[in-house]
Amino acid sequence: MAFYLRISELVEGPLTRGEVQSRLERKLITTQTPAWQIGWPAWQTVAEVLQPQPTSVVPQTGAATPPPPAADDTGPKPPPYHRTLLLAAALFGFDGLIGGQGFLSLLVLYVGMPVLAIRVLLARKDSDLCRRRLASVGIYLAAALAALALVRFDQAGARVRAEQVIAACEKFKQTEGDYPKALVELTPKFLPAIPPAREFGMTTKKFTYLIAGPNEFVKGTNVHVLIYTTIPPIGRAYYVFEEKRWGFYD
C-alpha cells in the first residue's frame, strides 16, 4: 500500500508503511503529520496510517491518483510566519520609528539571537521545524538591523542639520556682529527654514538654542549653545559657539 505525507506545502510519496514508521522513529515527522493513501476520501494523520490493519483488506484497483488537497487548503490561510512577521514589524516600528533608540534591537541581537540559535539546534532532527525556526531567526535579525540602521541614519542626519544651523549662526555673527538671540532670526536670510533635528523618535525633534551662564558644561558668561536629542529621551548633544566644541550629556 502506497502512502503520501504532507510536510509543510510539499507532498512526499509514495511510501511504504515501513518507511513511514522509520521516519516517525527518526522524528522527521510526528503522529499528527497529514497522511493519505489511495482510497481515502481526505487527508488523515500518520497515526491513522500506523493503525493495525484488518486481516482482510480489499485490494485497490485502478491507477493511482494524486493525493486530495488537505481540508484547510480550500479556505484562506494566514501568510507563512505571520506571527513572526508581526513581531518583527512591531520591533522595527517601535524601536526605529517611534522610540528612535535602538535599545530593543540591541537586546534582540545580544540576547534574543543566542536563544533563537539554541532553538534551531534543538530542532535539527526535524528538518521542517528547523527550517521554520531558522527563517524566524533571519526575520528578527533583519528587523533589528533595519531598526538600528534607521536610528543611525537619523542621528547622522541630525548632525548634518546641526552643522547647517551652526554655519548659519556664524554667518549671522559675521553680518550682524553677534550670534542671534533666537534661531528664528536666521530665516529667511541665512536659512530658508529651521530644520528639525531628528526625523524619528518619541521626544522633541527640534533644536534648542539658548544663551547660558557658567555651569558644568560651559565656563563663559552669556555663552551660546545649540542642543538636540541624540538618544531619546535624555541623551543630548550640544555645541558651544564661543568654544567651538561639541559635547554630550544625559
pLDDT of residue 127: 81
Bond before 78 cis per omega within 30 degrees: no
- Joined together, the cell numbers standing for residue 108 give 534582540
**Percent of the chain whose pLDDT exceeds 90:** 29
**pLDDT tens digit sequence for 128-149:** 788 888 999 999 999 999 999 9
pLDDT of residue 58: 46
Q: Is the dihedral of CA 221, 226, 230, 231 positive or negative?
A: positive
* Under 8 Å between Cβ of 202 and 102: no
221: Cα within 13 Å, side-chain hemisphere: 0
Q: Comparing 78 with 228, which gets the higher pLDDT?
A: 228
Looking at the DSSP bridge assignments, the partners of residue 238 are 227, 247
Q: In what order do the strands lie in the sheet with 44-45?
A: 10-15, 3-7, 34-37, 44-45
**pLDDT tens digit sequence for 67-82:** 555 544 444 444 567 8
pLDDT of residue 54: 54
Would the pLDDT of 61 be above 50?
no
Which residues have CB under 8 Å from 138's CB, separation 6+? none
Would the pLDDT of 40 be above 70?
yes
pTM for the whole thing? Answer: 0.62
pLDDT of residue 76: 46
pLDDT-based confidence at residue 38 (cuts at 50, 70, 90)? confident
Contacts of 110-114 with C-beta under 8 Å, sequence gap 24+, read 112/140, 112/144, 113/137, 113/140, 113/141
Q: What angle do CA 113, 146, 98 make, to 5 degrees?
A: 105
* Under 8 Å between Cβ of 101 and 148: no
